[in-house]
């Protein structure tokens, strides 16, 4: 498979880097990280692809999810309920 890297340019207000106390490169890295975290949180990309976008290993990305309060488990409420019901049924079958 042939992949092509794309370059994005961001416009920021004048002196924005100074306001957030970041260099232009640090701000670029933060924007990519935030985009990766949000796309992963929304289920748009896998953790591996999000890590790639953020420029880090998958393990580091998953640890970063914890720091930013992004769940690494992408289940909706119905899926969680079904899993719990299945687990309870299994426990009843084995007598616990």
pLDDT in tens, 28-47: 999 999 999 999 999 999 99
- Rounded to the nearest 10 degrees, the angle between the axes of helix 24-41 and helix 58-67 is 90
The answer, yes or no, to whether residue 1 has pLDDT greater than 60, is no
Where do the structural domains in the chain lie, given as residue ranges? 17-93
Helix (H) or strand (E) holding 86: helix 77-93
What letter does residue 72 receive in the DSSP assignment? S
**What is the rounded CA–CA span in Å between residue 36 and residue 16?**
21
Q: Name the residue with tokens 């914890």.
A: 66
Q: Tell me the per-residue pLDDT of 69-82, one tens digit each, with 9 for 90 and over.
A: 999 887 777 877 88
The answer, yes or no, to whether residue 83 has pLDDT greater than 90, is no
- The model carries a pTM of 0.71
Q: Average per-residue pLDDT in the chain?
A: 88
């Amino acid at each position: 498979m042939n992949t092509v890297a794309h370059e994005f340019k961001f416009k920021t207000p004048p002196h924005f880097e100074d306001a957030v106390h970041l260099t232009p490169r640090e701000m670029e890295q933060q924007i990519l990280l935030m985009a990766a975290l949000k796309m992963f949180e929304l289920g748009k990309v896998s953790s591996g692809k999000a890590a790639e976008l953020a420029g880090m290993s998958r393990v580091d990305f998953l640890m970063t999810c914890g720091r930013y309060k992004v769940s690494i488990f992408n289940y909706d409420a119905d899926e969680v309920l079904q899993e719990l019901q299945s687990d309870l049924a299994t426990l009843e079958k084995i007598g616990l």
